[in-house]
Amino acid sequence: SAPDFVPLLVAEAMLSGGGAGMGRSSRLYRALVASGLARGAGSDMSATIDPYLFQIAVTGLPESDLGQIERVVNGEIERLQSDLAPVEELDRARRQLLAQLTYSAEGVTNQAYWLGQWEIVDHLDRATNLPEEIRRVSAEDIQRVAREYLTPQRSTVGWLVPSGSGSSASGAGAPVGVAPFGPPTWSIHGGEQNSYGFERRRLSNGIIVLSQDRVHSESVALRFRVPAGSIYEGDAAAGLSHLTARAMCRGSAGMSFEEISDHTDNLGSSMSIDAGRQFLEGRIRCLRDDLPEMVGLLANAIQRPDFPADQVDLIRAEQLGAIRDAANDTRSVSDHELRRLVYPLPNPLGRSSIGDPETVSRLAADDARNFHARNVTPTRAAFAVVGGIGDGEAVAWLLESAFGAWTAAREDRVVPDLSRTNQIAESIELGIPGKSQADLAAGLATIPRLHPDFVPLDVANLILGRLGLMGRLGAEVRDKQGLAYYVYSQIEPRRDGTLWSARAGVDPANIESALASIRAELERLRRDPVSVAELSDARSYLVGVLPLALESNDGVAATLLSLEEYGLGLDYLDRYPAIIAGVTREDILRAASEHLNPDRLVISVARPASNA
């Protein structure tokens, strides 16, 4: 309720952006990340009842000068105090915050949270009045609150510096607008009738466009997906897909990274491209009126990336820092070792998706350029666009103008061999210096997403390690026996197969007991039918949680891409309640017995290193 809260909020946006992926033109990002001093930098100003913290956080690189980072942060604070904010920068910060208010209003859950938060910390009317308060903040207000609150006498600085070297495990311009075009040659294809308003079209070059119009939404979420993840890069170039994806947004069609960042931040929009194990994905979040401009920027990044050498060098340094951090984290190490044993070479699913120090240190701009030419093509590419778009036809016209002429530059991509998986039980234990907690992972490779037993197996896993406070595992291993800080199980589906795993964080003294308890619960799931009540709860959860997953524009976009990937059809969500209702206790028992074979269970433990 303090009158200076909103000016501090705008000052925080000037330092690190308005959230939701914005902020690459912000002061901290440019001074620390874009300059190559740090891997990440941000700030936070939360709405609370009592006075709380204005926080600034920086993640350094392996060779970072911590003193220099601290001097840069202090310098940016002093600049807020000494110089009035330029009109353009202040307008950008305010627009980002106003856009973030629009994004955060997607879905009734977010709206309820927002209204409830303000009723708790101040008054319900504040939620309505906040946009006007943001618009009224002046450069003088920013300078005044910076001088009053962001002083050395009030500040506390702390650094967390990893001890030891960690585990040896590898780490876990052109115009922006869209040009005019002739009549489209895309067509409706496979658009099953459905009650959600989902539509499916195909552009002239084969790209799939999935969409849902939300008449009352003021924002739009767009996702682009193409099979160009780490499984396509080859062992000698591990980490290349990650580097390529990040570099695609760092300069394209003659526009510099700084110019692109200015453009997106001025719009209160965000654009990112990242790569996982299977896919390279681009994402846009923007206000509905800004979609054509953002599609133009994304089209440049996807089709015409420049891969500037200086930006590739910065990304490589950030990536090496992330690899180092993962190798010093027990949870990341246990996950990496689990995957390495479940998917032995030559299966690329066993590699870290961000690579290892040896391979990443050799990567250069030409490597990214060649990977992009081979793999980032219209072949099997898809868009999902959700929000205030008007209709699917309008979106198809827009994307046809930006992407319809795109053709594959090369077709000599790596064809990954994903067939090899572990056939025997294996285990590994690694020690990491300076840690107090152990993290363990147990898992195995199992059936593909389209296998007839997948849905019963998914329900079995829900009962075992997801439902409520993490299912049977949570009730037994954590609550009853007190052996774990957290415990759960999960299924990661793919077309070629699925990884099932159980994870837990434990006191090192409880490792063996926790593993024994997890094994016992797995065996019970394979031996005895689940109870009628458990199945009823699982059915209710799976059907009831669906509307929550579809509240946000981005959540719907992700769902549409998943439906497309597995060929489930746009009417799948209409059929879903009946599919779940058809799963029986016998189906669950059969699926668990046949597809969760403990004779192939891999155990991976990362624990504190012994002092001996």
Inform me whether the pLDDT recorded for 183 exceeds 60. no
- Residue 41 near residue 70 (C-beta atoms within 8 A): no
The SS3 of residue 178 is coil
Q: Name the token pair of 357.
A: 């120090």
- Contacts for 464-471: CB closer than 8 Å, 24+ residues apart: 464/489, 464/502, 464/521, 464/522, 464/525, 465/489, 465/490, 465/502, 466/490, 467/534, 467/537, 467/538, 467/541, 468/537
pLDDT for 611 equals: 59
Distance CA 486, CA 473 (A): 9
Query: How far is residue 521 CA from its own chain's centroid?
Result: 31
Distance CA 509, CA 502 (A): 19
- Residue 62 near residue 321 (C-beta atoms within 8 A): yes
Query: Whose structure tokens read 């929009």?
Result: 269
Q: Name the token pair of 278.
A: 């299977």
Question: Across 123-227, where does the E strand assignment appear?
Answer: 187-188, 199-202, 208-213, 219-226
Distance CA 223, CA 210 (A): 10
Distance CA 149, CA 55 (A): 12
How does residue 576 score in pLDDT terms, banded at 50, 70 and 90? Answer: very high
Q: Pick from 241, 237, 233, 252: which is nearest to 276 by CA?
A: 241
**Higher per-residue pLDDT: 449 or 379:** 449
The SS3 of residue 68 is helix
First to last CA, the chain: 55
The dihedral formed by the CA atoms of 526, 532, 535 and 536, expressed in degrees to the nearest 10:
180
Cite the DSSP H helix spans in 417-510. 454-465, 467-473
SS3 track for 317-373: HHHHHHHHHHHCCHHHHHHHHHHHHHCCCCCHHHCCCCCCHHHHCCCCHHHHHHHHH
Strands 602-608 and 426-432, bridge-based pairing: parallel
Inform me whether the pLDDT recorded for 575 exceeds 50. yes
- Domains present along the chain, CATH in parentheses: 5-154 (3.30.830.10), 187-403 (3.30.830.10), 426-608 (3.30.830.10)
pLDDT for 47 equals: 87
pLDDT tens column, 510-531: 999 999 999 999 999 999 999 9
Inform me whether the pLDDT recorded for 188 exceeds 70. no
**Higher per-residue pLDDT: 71 or 391:** 71
The SS3 of residue 429 is strand
Inform me whether the pLDDT recorded for 612 exceeds 60. no
**Higher per-residue pLDDT: 326 or 20:** 326
- Residue 210 near residue 384 (C-beta atoms within 8 A): yes
pLDDT for 123 equals: 86
Of all residues in the chain, the percent with pLDDT exceeding 90 is: 77
Q: Name the token pair of 610.
A: 């012994």
Q: Pick from 496, 405, 413: which is nearest to 449 by CA?
A: 496
Query: How far is residue 390 CA from its own chain's centroid?
Result: 27
pLDDT for 286 equals: 95
- Residue 607 near residue 430 (C-beta atoms within 8 A): yes
Q: Which amino acid is at 207?
A: I
pLDDT for 176 equals: 37
> Would you tell me how many other CB atoms lie within 10 Å of the CB of residue 190?
12
Query: Whose structure tokens read 């499984």?
Result: 231
pLDDT tens column, 274-309: 999 999 999 999 999 999 999 999 999 999 999 999
Distance CA 275, CA 454 (A): 26
Q: Name the token pair of 57.
A: 């956080």
- Residue 529 near residue 588 (C-beta atoms within 8 A): yes
How does residue 118 score in pLDDT terms, banded at 50, 70 and 90? Answer: confident
pLDDT tens column, 598-609: 999 999 999 999
- Residue 18 near residue 97 (C-beta atoms within 8 A): yes
Q: Which amino acid is at 230?
A: S
pLDDT for 408 equals: 79
Q: Look at the alpha carbons of 186, 188, 191, 194 in this order and tell me if their dihedral is positive or negative.
A: positive
How does residue 177 score in pLDDT terms, banded at 50, 70 and 90? Answer: very low
Q: Name the token pair of 600.
A: 């192939």
Residue 417, burial from CB neighbour count under 10 angstroms (0-12, 13-18, 19+): exposed
The H-or-E segment that residue 610 falls in is none
Inform me whether the pLDDT recorded for 102 exceeds 50. yes
